[in-house]
Structure 1
Amino acid sequence: MKKNKVLIIITVILLVGAAGLLAYDKLGFGKKAEVGTDQSIDDVLKVSVDIGEIATNLLDNRYVKISFTIETDSKDAKGELEKRKFQVQNIIITELSEMKAPQLEGKEGKQQFEDAVKTRINEIMQEGEVVKVYITSYIIS
């Protein structure tokens, strides 16, 4: 009789624990909020760095003038990115020097370039990471 009571108690405890874990997961507790969701523009600006305009030649001897704002995941990352601005500019110029004008055309081309720059910058970041790279102006001639 005692074995049955102990077995029932253990089963109830396991069921309550499983229900608790399921509720915890379904209600989203413990999940890190995605950066960029439900952020005010003021919050985004507090962790963003304006890289300014860069003018350089492309691989096909065309010329590009392009500006960026880069969003980070924290104020510490923003501070580091501001210090690494010259390295970021170098990354952008290096990436652009290997591209031809058609590769930057259209939404998809710009998105791929933004992603490539983000990846390269995150390789050098130590205090956080880049969340999003925004092209803020763009001219090819």
Structure 2
Amino acid sequence: MKSNKLLTIMIIILIAIILVGAIFFVIYLQANKGVQNTEPTIDEIVEASVDVPEIKTNLLDKRYIIIQLKVQTDSKEAAAELEKRLFQVNNIAIQELADMELKQLEGKEGKITLRNTLKSKINELMQDGEVREVYITNYITGQ
């Protein structure tokens, strides 16, 4: 009798442990479900992006540059704020380019440096979000 009772208690404890484990597993999966999809879709990126009109300015070495940018923010609200701040974005871009020579902009590294600088400076202005990325969509230089 005692062995049957002991066996029954062990089975009940084992089933309880399995159920608790299954519950924690389901909770874990549900909690991580939202984390896996943190990357925005291309439609979300486009909605949260702003096209900066073509900027034409002189460089430090008396050459000129024509550049066009697309700025990706973290939300539609941030994009709306950035739209209102386009005159400030143009000003920042012109100031940064005025201190650069063409050789500083050449190659992949030069463009990455410019993009990172613009991102940082624009983020200093933002109040309702932040800039995630600055893309160069058009780039022409001359003498």
What is the TM-score with the length of structure 2 in the denominator?
0.74
Quote the offset at 1:31 in angstroms: 5.0
Tell me which stretches of 4 or more aligned residues in structure 1 moved more than 3 Å.
27-34
Distance across 1 between alignment mates of 2:106 and 2:91: 22
Q: Provide the aligned length of Structure 1 versus Structure 2.
A: 120
SS of 2:128 mapped into structure 1: coil
1:1-20 matched pairs, under 5 angstroms: none
Distance across 2 between alignment mates of 1:73 and 1:91: 20
Query: 1:116 and 2:117 equivalent?
Result: yes
Share of identical aligned residues, percent?
A: 51
Q: Indicate the structure with greater helix content.
A: 2
SS of 2:136 mapped into structure 1: strand
Q: 1:81 to 1:102 in 2, by over 3 A?
A: same
Equivalent residue number for residue 39 of structure 1: 41
Equivalent residue number for residue 63 of structure 2: 62
- RMSD (Å), alpha carbons: 2.5
Looking at CA atoms only, which structure, 1 or 2, has the larger radius of gyration? 2
Quote the offset at 1:52 in angstroms: 1.2
Distance across 2 between alignment mates of 1:98 and 1:38: 35
Quote the offset at 1:38 in angstroms: 5.1
Cα distance per residue 1:49-100 (max 9 Å; x no partner): 0001000000011100000010100011000000000000000000000000
Structure 2: unaligned runs, 5 residues or longer = 1-19
Equivalent residue number for residue 73 of structure 1: 74
Structure 1: unaligned runs, 5 residues or longer = 1-15
